[in-house]
Structure 1
Amino acid sequence: MTATSAGSGGWFTRACRRIHPGRNPLARSGDRWDGRLLVMIVVLAVATVPAAVTWGGDVHAGRLGEAARDAAATHRVTAVLTADAPTSATTGHLRGGVHVPARWTAPDGGERTGTVSAYRGATRGSEVTIWVDRAGAVTAAPATRTGAVVDGVSAGLALWLGVLTACGLGYAMFRLLLARSRRARWDREWERVAPDWVR
């Protein structure tokens, strides 16, 4: 047997004994509770997977509904800049760029003017793509199917990792209290036998 396989076997054996000490007379009640808690954590981690998948699916479905509503309520149009975009970094920011005056045609055919997001240094007459509502006012880009998938997966993973984190913190706290209890027990035992050792 190689050193690697022996080490793996030793680790597996130790893990099994930690979870289930069996009839080992050296196993204390804390060791048995430690094993039970580890089993409970593993069971809870596995049992949380379907709940996380369901939660992620619900979030995904909700985001798809938002995407459908946004697609019906927003329109992508082309805006023409009516001024040069500033190049100074001190100018107020809009997501994706800077504020620049522009004009565009609303879904109803009327012309609208306002400020849109453009990259620094864009010249007058440049065209940028913007999203507008039915009235022609600038609005945020609609939700997408890809975004819905990302949000659903993220929500499911967040739930599962949150449960694992809570379990890990709970187990760490249990181990800390168990270690303190063992030290206190050792102290009491030492106080009991110390006089005999001194004599």
Structure 2
Amino acid sequence: MNRNSRRKTAGHESRPRRTTRSWLWRWRRNPLRRHSDVVEAWIVLALWTLALVGGVLTGWAVAGAVDRTFADRRAGVHAVSAELTENAADGTFIPAGYDAGRMWVTVRWTAADGSVHTGRAKAEPTATAGSRIQVWANRSELLVAAPPSKAESTFEAVAAGALVAQLTVTAVYGGGWLVRRRLFRQRIAEWDDEWRRVGPQWRNFSGGKG
């Protein structure tokens, strides 16, 4: 054997052998597989299926419900042009929150049937009496908060659906983990029982060798 051949042989022998790990060993027949292993394999498969299908279905249902709620809210209100009856500087200051810095003022508007209504709305501090702002009123002509836009509704629906889907998957795996833990304890008990039967034979065999 020449030097090059020895190098190739040495290099080949120095490479570690790859051990192919079978993730489906519970589904294959082998002497180490027990009944609890088969049961656990079916549980894992059922968990994956239930988590994926259940997560998608519940998330989709919640997203649809949220979107319909926002759609009903938009359908139940309408925008009106209201007139300030006082200067905004004379109104009530809003110190904090999303509308911090704005003022609560009294406004007046005319409904579609010709009736006149008044209410309290938020306006910029520089707004003056007689100027107009857009407000939202419900079917009873009471001022309400502006409904979310279609884009905002879609975002909220998707976020709610994703959250519920994640919670569903977590709940399914939580329940499955408890079942698998019980199976693990059962497997340990089976091993203990078998060792009680086989262990003395090993000790006798070891004593015979001595």
TM-score range normalised by the length of the shorter chain: 0.5 to 0.7
CA distance in 2, matches of 1:87, 1:154: 30
The question of whether the paired residues in 1 share the 8 Å contact of 2:78 and 2:136 is answered with yes
1:30 equivalent in alignment to 2:33? no
SS of the residue 1:14 aligns to? coil
Structure 1 residues 53 and 161, CA, compared in 2 at 3 Å: closer, same or farther? Answer: closer
Structure 1 residues 16 and 144, CA, compared in 2 at 3 Å: closer, same or farther? Answer: same
Give the Å deviation of 1:115.
Answer: 2.9
Give the Å deviation of 1:186.
Answer: 3.9
Structure 1 residues 187 and 141, CA, compared in 2 at 3 Å: closer, same or farther? Answer: same
Give the Å deviation of 1:162.
Answer: 3.8
The question of whether the paired residues in 2 share the 8 Å contact of 1:56 and 1:154 is answered with no
Identical-residue share of aligned pairs (%)? 20
SS of the residue 2:147 aligns to? coil
The question of whether the paired residues in 2 share the 8 Å contact of 1:56 and 1:155 is answered with yes
CA distance in 2, matches of 1:56, 1:105: 37
Equivalent residue number for residue 96 of structure 1: 99
TM-score normalised to the size of structure 2? 0.61
SS of the residue 1:74 aligns to? strand
Equivalent residue number for residue 93 of structure 2: 86
From 146, 149, 157, the equivalent of 1:144 is: 149
Structure 1 residues 128 and 17, CA, compared in 2 at 3 Å: closer, same or farther? Answer: farther
CA distance in 2, matches of 1:76, 1:32: 67
1:175 equivalent in alignment to 2:175? no
1:116 equivalent in alignment to 2:121? yes
From 131, 135, 150, the equivalent of 2:136 is: 131
Letter of the structure 2 residue corresponding to residue 165 of structure 1 = T
Structure 1 residues 58 and 23, CA, compared in 2 at 3 Å: closer, same or farther? Answer: same
Give the Å deviation of 1:197.
Answer: 4.6
The question of whether the paired residues in 1 share the 8 Å contact of 2:94 and 2:104 is answered with no
The question of whether the paired residues in 2 share the 8 Å contact of 1:55 and 1:155 is answered with no
1:75 equivalent in alignment to 2:70? no
TM-score normalised to the size of structure 1? 0.63
Q: Which runs of 5+ in 2 are unaligned?
A: 1-16
Give the Å deviation of 1:131.
Answer: 1.6
From 44, 49, 63, the equivalent of 2:50 is: 44
Structure 1 residues 64 and 180, CA, compared in 2 at 3 Å: closer, same or farther? Answer: same
Equivalent residue number for residue 62 of structure 1: 68
CA distance in 2, matches of 1:189, 1:162: 40
CA distance in 1, matches of 2:72, 2:56: 24
Structure 1 residues 69 and 116, CA, compared in 2 at 3 Å: closer, same or farther? Answer: same
